[in-house]
Chain A
Amino acid sequence: MNRRSVLKMLAGGAGLLSGLMPLTALANKLMGKRDPIDAIKAITGGSQSASDKLILKTPKLAENGAQVPITVDATALDGVKSISLVVHENPKPVALKINFDSSDVVTFASFRVKMGKPTKVTAIAQTASGFVTASGSTKVTKGGC
């Protein structure tokens, strides 16, 4: 162990740490996005394709914008790692990102989000071979944002 190897180790350790940090910061950055197109880009890295294998169920008309039921069915796709939902007209467009940690989980999710006004909704599924999207739109009579 000489001075050179010690310095190398230190540099390596510092690199590791800084490599880990952005992971937690990434989630916060994504949630803080204000522009829907930006947000989608941040999730997919700019390359995505629409597919009818990803099924997004949103109500055509939501009476109460504070509780809009959404269902995303990605069971027709293989190797789904995560599902994200972007509500375009919301002040914070990214509603949630569901990461599937185990293959035991069926890639089907149902949840509720808030919507401020009539909006386009995009679901993004991350598969082994890239990003797949599905879009729908919902009219809101009473906003909840």
Chain B
Amino acid sequence: MAKKIKARAKMKKGLIEVKYKVKHPMETGLRKAKDGNLVPEEYITNIKISKNGTPMINIDTNSTVSSDPYLYFRMKGAKGDVINLSWVSNTGEKNSADTKVK
């Protein structure tokens, strides 16, 4: 299953404004599927955001973060900087994406 990372990074009032929508089901392990069985836990445990390779933000997430996590941050920087987001899930799945600041 493709788990896309939707990103937008823009300069606004001298700061980079980053918005992320990470496609992920974020299953808590408490929800029941239609057949009555519990859906196994599957959630992102860690999200890292870096700018031009320098770590900026490190987020430990739990299964109670909403599905398709949405994140909003602001940071110092300039046009053309590359913002990278990478995540790891409890199942060991990983994904990352680079976004150029507009």
- Enumerate chain A interface residues (CB-CB to B < 8 A): 27, 30-31, 66-69, 87, 90-102, 104-106, 108-114, 144-145
> B38 contacts the other chain (Cβ, under 8 Å)?
no
Closest to B44 in A: A96
Distance A63 CA – B49 CA, assembled complex (angstroms): 31
Closest to B48 in A: A101
Residues of A near B64 (CB, < 8 A) are 87, 90-95, 113-114, 145
Contact A104 B65 (CB under 8 A): no
Distance from A79 Cβ to chain B, minimum over Cβ atoms (Å): 16
Spot the interface stretch: B1-9, B50-58, B93-101: B50-58
Contact B15 A106 (CB under 8 A): yes
For chain B residues 38-79, which have a beta carbon within 8 Å of chain A? 45-46, 51, 54-67, 69-77
Distance A85 CA – B57 CA, assembled complex (angstroms): 16
> B33 contacts the other chain (Cβ, under 8 Å)?
no
